[in-house]
Every structure is written in C-alpha cells, then in structure tokens.
Amino acid sequence: MARTLEQWLEYQQQVHPRSIDMGLERVGAVARRLGIGKPGRRVVTVGGTNGKGSTVAFLEAIARAAGLRTGAYTSPHLLRYNERVRIDGKPVDDAALVQAFERIEAARGDTPLTFFEYGTLAALLLFEQAGLDLAILEVGLGGRLDATNIVDPDCAVITTVDLDHQDYLGPDRESIGAEKAGILRAGKPCVLGEKDPPSSVLRRAYAIGAFAIRGHSDYLIDPLEAGWRWREPGYAIELPDPAMPAPAQRENAAAAIAALRALDLPVPDEAIRAGVAGARAPGRLQVLPGTPERVLDVAHNPQGAGQLARWLELHPKPTVAVFSALGDKDLGGICAPLAPWLRAWHLGPITDAGPRGLAVDELARRLAEHLPAEILHPHRSLADALAAATRAAGPGGRVLVFGSFHTVAAAMAAG
C-alpha cells in the first residue's frame, strides 16, 4: 500500500539510527544512482549561522520579481513539511514529495539516509524536473559535510559565522568558519555577508581560487534618510527598507543582491526593489494580529539573541517572553543580551524534537543559573505558556516568542 506524506516522514526517522550523520558518501552515492544532475540553470547555496532563511527569501523574491523560474529549499519547517521545497514561491504538494521519496527509496538499497538527506534528495529531484532558472539551497548544518554540498553551486553565500552546533562544527568561530567554507568552489564567486568573517573562511577562498565578494568592502550598504543604498564600483541602487524588521535584514538583502549580480542574471533594478520590499520569511520578527502585540522570532543562539536585543532596544515596550530551547543550546549566551529587556520568562517543553528536547523543569533549572528564579514561570505546554504570557502582558504590552523553530511553530499552531 502506498504511503502518505506523513507516513513517509515517520518512516524516514527510523531508517538511520542517528538523526544527524554528517558526510557526503552515502547521500552522494544515492544521488548518483538517481542520476541527479544540476537542479537549475544557476545554483546558489546559502550557508551561515544566522540569516540563511532570510537571505534565501530575498534571493527568491528578487528573482521571481525578475520573471525567473525559481526553486528554494529551506529547513526546518514551521507548520508543514511542504514549506521546505518551493517552486515559483509555492510549496510543492504531497503527491510530488511522495513520488520523489518513492524514487529515493527504490534507489537507496541498503544505504541508510537521515531525515534531512531524504528531504535534500527529494528537493533536488523536484527542482531538476521543474526546469528552473535559479535553484536556491539553504545549507542545513555546517557546510562541508552537509547533504546540500553534493551540488556544485555557481555562487555560494555565507551570511554570518558564530557559535552554534559546537558539538559538530568545533569550539570557536575559526573552526566553525572552516566547516561553513566547505561550500565554496574553485573559480566561482562567494559572497561573505558579514563585515569581519573568520580568517578560516578567507583562507579557504584564497586557497581554492574562489572569487570572494565581501560585504562592507566589495559592496557597501549606505543608510539614507528613507531606506538605504546598495553600492559597488560602477553601480548603485537606492532601496526601500525590507519588510522583515530585524536590524540584520539590510545585510541579508545586500548579500542576496551581491549573489545575483555575481551570477550575471537578468535582474532589473525594479525587480531588486520589489524583491527587497516584498520578501518574507515566517518567524523572523513576525508580528501576529491582535492585542497584546505578539512577536515570533526563531532566534536560538547568542548571535540571534543579540540581534533580537537590538530590535527590542529600538522598539521599547514592556515585554514578556515565551521561551523554550533545545538541550544543546548555549542558554547563558542567549540570556545575556536579552535579560535587560524581558521582565518575565514563561517556559514550556519542546516535545517534538526527540532526545534534543528539554523537559520544562530542566529548562527552568538551567535558566536559573543565568536569570533570577522569580521571573521564570514553567508551564506544562508551550500553549499554556503563551496563554499565561498573554495575560501577563496586558493590552499594552508585548509577548515575544523565541528560542527555537519548535517554539515558534507551537505559538503559530496555538493561534
């Protein structure tokens, strides 16, 4: 009997004994058996610690405004798995994903694949069939050994490099940067979005002959009274502010513009302006309707928390948090920048992340090492935490939901 999409997703979590098994040998072997070729006429791979999903959204929105046929692969999803694979801005349907999974299953033999590897191969199959002008692939974990790295991109983007997933990527920015720089290719452009990338990224680019295009150096971001200007030698364009309000979104949009220009795609100025103004990525300082103000953000590491703190400083309002995080996160690094701006933390458990999830009592115990115990309020579920925080904030206050994609998804599901 044919499996439904939900049955396929449940099955995939049982095929490999580990949820994360970094390396290209297994997924590459299955890709060769499937005969997977280039997923689009041009391919951009987007890696980095934070800003990947937003940069993909800018690339997709600008390219679509230019009339290009696009595919975007992102992870994780918030409400539906189909969000991970978009063609011309629309999530693919269940039937297309099921058909791709059936092909993968027939080809893999006894080769075990992780959940993410199944999804990556399915996206590549669907993109190749779709006749794309531009395929945009968001790297999952790291870069060098991530399943997306079986594809040779025409341009690679590294948004930022900071501390996250140290158990897999190394203890500091230099070692993490070396892993992320694995997506660079010899003789191809690579956009480095942050002002001061780790030297390991630059060394890799120079060693293999990748053409590094550095933010705030090879292209500039000039603030204007209304909006901003993207500028490089011989070209400049004045732009509206992105609809996504985080302080880093100009940098993400700028990196996307640099990548599209490096690919020499037919993208007129009008498309760049429309794409910058129209790009959306759910869960990035997303404001839900109603009172009190409810803001969702997927910030889940110290760098993301710092960006969130900058936004709270620029938009002062009495704020209470709904928070949960996975067990391998740096809770101290997340708490430090945000503590001055949050008067209470309502906590809930993450129950759909397997062994990485934290029981709420353990989360509260760990947070009490960094925050006063009297402002920590554990609840049986994230829905209960959201309801309590909403009451505590009152009509004139703000509820900030953050800490994980799982946390934001629970708030979205609760309405």
DSSP-derived letter for residue 133 is S
Kindly report, residue by residue over 328-375, the tens digit of the pLDDT. Answer: 899 999 999 999 999 999 999 998 877 888 899 999 999 999 999 999
Q: Considering the entire predicted model, what is its pTM?
A: 0.95
Q: In what order do the strands lie in the sheet with 319-323?
A: 286-288, 293-297, 398-402, 319-323, 345-347, 376-378
Contact, 375 vs 345, CB < 8 A? yes
Position 1 pLDDT exceeds 70:
no
C-alpha–C-alpha distance, residues 393 and 373, integer Å: 19
Band of residue 167 on the pLDDT scale cut at 50, 70, 90: confident
Position 232 pLDDT exceeds 90:
yes
pLDDT more than 90, % of the chain: 90
Q: What is the pLDDT of residue 60?
A: 98
Q: In what order do the strands lie in the sheet with 228-232?
A: 220-223, 228-232, 235-239
Q: What is the pLDDT of residue 375?
A: 97
CA distances from 306 to 50, 248, 301, 324 (A): 11, 11, 9, 17
